[in-house]
Structure 1
């Protein structure tokens, strides 16, 4: 496969997943914003969303002034933000158009129709009710696109490169969504483990579409340790970091040729997967959840860049793909 085709497929998968990620982060902010807060910390939810999204360099206002309107506009409509929903769907369509011969007609139609419908949605006001409906629509369109990819494409290298992009992006996205909780300031340190802490973790689970999964898998009240186990370590979860890295490892092993750089990359991904499988929840909290997630985000984006190099294509159009939370 030509490297430019592999590149287009890889970023097609990443941008569809990144579009969903922006919607999930906004949903997390919307849910956290609905919880009782002290006046002094009323904007911390939206500040946390900007930080976790990696958009601190493109956000046009001071972080402490972030609110539902400014953050929603930046993560939905702002073309100057390469990770906004409109930027992601434009980039996804551009990549899909460039690789039309490598994808099915159904995939092209799903991406192209999403772009057309998005512009209709953007003409509407995004008040609290409309915002919820819009975010549901974005996630549904992402699911539709990946459904078309899985149901209509041959099981060949084209599909593998799309899947590789998707799983790299999902690993980054889940880590950022979890890190939102770190940046949301509790009114008082004594509230850790209390009612508000519980409600915040529940909203993070819901934004990750994992609240029902938590109830099925754990006979316990929602707490930090349980959420971390589900979204980082549990391979039964389709959104966990271990699941994502396992998929990345499998795909890289299938794509690797006789080139040593590709074989080394596949082995590195396998080693990372095994290390995650051996990790315990207590190990993560001993390091510090925020620090652990930051290290994971940095290492995962380095591996994605190594994959780009190993398969002969360059860096992403979005310059903040590897930007970490602070």
Structure 2
């Protein structure tokens, strides 16, 4: 496969997944904003959403001034933000158009129709009800496009490059969503395990569409250790870091040729998967959840950049430095 075709498929997969994950972050912000607040604590859930999205560098005002209107506008409409929903949809369509011969008509129609419908949605002012409706639409369109990819494309290298992009993006996004809780909303020690702490973890689960899964898998009240086990280490969860890393390792193996750089990439992916499998919830909390997630995000982005280099296409993602995730 030509490297430019592989690049277009990889980034189409990433941008489709990213638009859905930005919607999940905004949904988390709405859910956390609606919770009761402790008047003795000074925190801003919307600044945490900006930080977790990696958009601190493009956000037009000071983080302490972040509110639902400013953050929603930046993460939905602002084309100066490469991770805004508008930017993601435009980029997904641009990449899909460039690789029309490598995708099915159904996949192209799903991506192209999303872009056409977007402009109608952007004409509507985003009060709380309209914002919720819009975020549901984005998630549904992302699911539709990924479903068309799953159900209509041959299981060849083209499909694998799309999936590889999707799983890199999902690993990054799940880690960022988890980090929302601990970056700005970290409670005082006396509040850990309390009512507000519990409600915040429940809303993180709901934003990840994982609240029902938690009830099925764990016979206990929602707690930080259970949430981290589900969204980091539990391979039964389609949004867990473990699931993403296992898929990345498998796809890297299947895509690797005899070139040493690609063989090393596949070996490194298998080693990263094995390391995560040998990690425990206790070890993550002993390290510090925020620090562990920060390291994971940086390592995942470096691995994505190495994937781009190994297969001969460019890098189109914020630098994998801790400044982008802290």
TM-score for the superposition, normalised by structure 1: 0.97
Contact 2:22 2:85 in 1 (8 A): yes
Aligned twin of 2:77: 77
Aligned twin of 2:105: 105
Q: Which runs of 5+ in 2 are unaligned?
A: none
* Per-residue deviation, 1:41: 5.3
Q: Which runs of 5+ in 1 are unaligned?
A: none
Q: Structure 1 pair 11/190, CA: closer, same or farther in 2 (3 Å)?
A: same
Q: Structure 1 pair 127/321, CA: closer, same or farther in 2 (3 Å)?
A: farther
Aligned twin of 1:53: 53
Per-residue displacement from partner, 1:100-142 (whole Å, max 9, x unpaired)?
A: 0000000000000000101100100110111111111100000
What are the equivalent positions in structure 2 for 1:1-326 lying under 5 Å apart?
Answer: 1-38=1-38, 44-185=44-185, 188-316=188-316, 318-319=317-318, 324-326=324-326
Contact 1:43 1:65 in 2 (8 A): no
Contact 2:43 2:184 in 1 (8 A): no
2:190 aligns to what SS in structure 1?
Answer: helix
Q: Structure 1 pair 186/293, CA: closer, same or farther in 2 (3 Å)?
A: closer
Once residues 220 and 38 of structure 1 are traced to their aligned partners in structure 2, the CA distance between those partners, rounded to angstroms, is 25
Contact 1:305 1:315 in 2 (8 A): yes
Aligned Cα RMSD in Å? Answer: 1.3
TM-score for the superposition, normalised by structure 2: 0.97
Give aligned pairs, total.
325
Contact 2:198 2:222 in 1 (8 A): yes
Once residues 2 and 321 of structure 1 are traced to their aligned partners in structure 2, the CA distance between those partners, rounded to angstroms, is 26
* Per-residue deviation, 1:37: 1.3
